[in-house]
Amino acid sequence: MSSQRTERVADQIRRELSELLQREVRDPRVALVTITRVEVSADFRHATVRVSALGTEEARAGAMTGLDSARGFLRRELARRLSLRTTPELRFFLDRGAEHSQEISSLLDRLREDGERHGS
């Protein structure tokens, strides 16, 4: 399989999952979930879905539980919407990249403020 095809399928899965979470899944635990990235195996049997979730650590854990609960529904809907021979098994992982970026940005802001206060 070409890597272009796997990237194209991964992007299509990301778009479809985002729409399904927004419009079809009624579980309030996944209301603040954003699909950040999807990686598909070369044989299209597995898809690693990276998500970010807003809120407390408890809310994030609830979001992951909600996604696990919706996994079967999401896979069935993907099968209906995508023209693939095999619909990938979905595996959800929390993506903390945005959270880390925010922490780094806050640290840089504090360093900048400290530098301005000390006349550097």
In a domain, 45, yes or no: yes
How many structural domains are present in the chain?
A: 1
Report the predicted TM-score, pTM, of the whole model to 2 decimal places: 0.79
In a domain, 105, yes or no: no
The pLDDT of residue 99 is: 66
In a domain, 114, yes or no: no
Query: In sequence order, what DSSP letters do the residues of 59-79 get, joined into one string?
Result: HHHHHHHHHHHHHHHHHHHHH
In a domain, 56, yes or no: yes
Q: How many CB atoms lie within 10 A of CB 33?
A: 26
In a domain, 15, yes or no: yes
Q: The CATH number of the domain where 35 resides is what?
A: 3.30.300.20
Per-residue tens of pLDDT for the chain, all 120 residues? 578 999 999 999 999 999 999 999 999 999 989 999 999 999 999 999 999 998 899 999 999 999 999 999 999 999 999 988 999 999 999 997 766 667 777 778 888 888 787 765
Print the domain residue range for 83: 3-95
In a domain, 104, yes or no: no
